[in-house]
Amino acid sequence: MRPFESIVILTGAGLSAESGVSTFRDPEGIWSKYDWREVATPEGFDSNPAYVHEFYNMRRRIHRDIKPNAAHFALARLENEHRGVTVITQNVDALHEAAGSKSLIHMHGEAMRALCAACGTSVPWTDDLSVATPCPSCGSVGRMRPDVVWFGEMPYHMERISELLSECDLFISIGTSGHVYPAASFVAEARAAGAHTVELNLEPSQGARLFAEGIYGPATEVVPEYVHKLLSVRTFE
C-alpha cells in the first residue's frame, strides 16, 4: 500500500449497524417495515405529517441511546493522526461526532436537528416533534420537520463534496449498498480524479465492480484493521 494524502470516506448504514441502528435494505431493514414513499419523501410528509413525525420520533429516540462502535472510533483516529481526511456520511445518526470526527459532512442531514420549512432555521432537537410544534425562531406552527434529506430533495453540501472528490487520492466507501444517488456515483468521480478506490462492506455491494479493491466483513473488524494499515504505511514514509 502506498501513502495517501487526501482521503475521502463515504459511510452508510452498515457502519452504524453494530451500534444497534437498523440498515435500510437488509432483509430486516427499515424499508422492509416502512414504505419509503410514506416516510421519506416531501409528498409523504405533506399527505400525513403526523405519521412521518412518529417515524422520526422513534428513530430519534433510538439515536439518543446508542454509542459509536470500533469503526467510528477508528475513523476518528485516522482523522486525528493523518492530515486531509474527510468523512461524508449518509447516516442521520450522530455517531461519527460522538466518536470524535470533526471533518464531517452530513449529506443526508441529521435526525437530531429540526428544520422550519417556513423560515429555514435549523436547530438541535432531541425531543419529539409534532404538527403542533412551533418554530423556536419564527413561531410558525405546523412547519417543523426533521432536518433530514428525503428522496427527491437535494443532498446537503454537494459543491464541497464534488471539490473534495476531485482532489482526493484515496476514496473509501464503508457500509453502503450503493443504491442511492448521488452518493452511489462518488466512486466514479473519485476514480476520474485518479484516486485509489476501496469498498469496505459486509459483502460486495451492487457497485462493487466500480472499486479497485474490496475488503469484506463486519465494519467493527475491517475498518479498524484498514485504518491501522493506512497509518502504518504513513509511519514508514
Residues that bind ligand OAD (CB under 6 A): 12-14, 17-18, 23-26, 29, 36, 40, 90, 108, 149-151, 175-177, 179-180, 201-203, 205, 218-219
Q: Can residue 135 be called a binding residue for Zn ion (CB under 5 A)?
A: yes
In whole angstroms, the minimum distance from the beta carbon of 56 to Zn ion comes to 18
Q: Which of 108, 157, 196, 228 is catalytic?
A: 108
Residue 6 grid coordinates:
487526501
Q: Is 108 one of the annotated active-site residues of the chain?
A: yes
Other CB atoms within a 10 A radius of the CB of residue 36 amount to: 13
Using CB under 5 A, pick the residue from 137, 160, 212, 217 that binds Zn ion. 137
Pairing of strands 213-216, 196-201: parallel
135 vs 200, beta carbon nearer ligand OAD: 200
CA 192, 84, 90, 172 dihedral sign is: positive
The binder of 24, among ligand OAD, Zn ion, none, by C-beta within 5 to 8 A per type, is ligand OAD
In whole angstroms, the minimum distance from the beta carbon of 74 to ligand OAD comes to 12
Q: Provide CB contacts within 8 A for 126, sequence distance 6+.
A: 60, 64, 112
Q: What is the rounded CA–CA span in Å between residue 220 and residue 236? A: 25
Q: What is the rounded CA–CA span in Å between residue 72 and residue 8? A: 15
The binder of 179, among Zn ion, ligand OAD, none, by C-beta within 5 to 8 A per type, is ligand OAD
The binder of 135, among Zn ion, ligand OAD, none, by C-beta within 5 to 8 A per type, is Zn ion
125 vs 186, beta carbon nearer Zn ion: 125
End-to-end CA distance of the chain: 11
Using CB under 5 A, pick the residue from 116, 174, 198, 219 that binds Zn ion. 116
Distances (CA, A) of 86 to 131, 192, 221: 36, 18, 21
C-beta separation of 3 from 233 below 8 A: yes
Q: What is the rounded CA–CA span in Å between residue 32 and residue 151? A: 17
In whole angstroms, the minimum distance from the beta carbon of 121 to Zn ion comes to 5
Q: Which residues bind Zn ion (CB under 5 A)?
A: 116, 118-119, 121, 135, 137-138, 140
As annotated, the active-site residues are 108
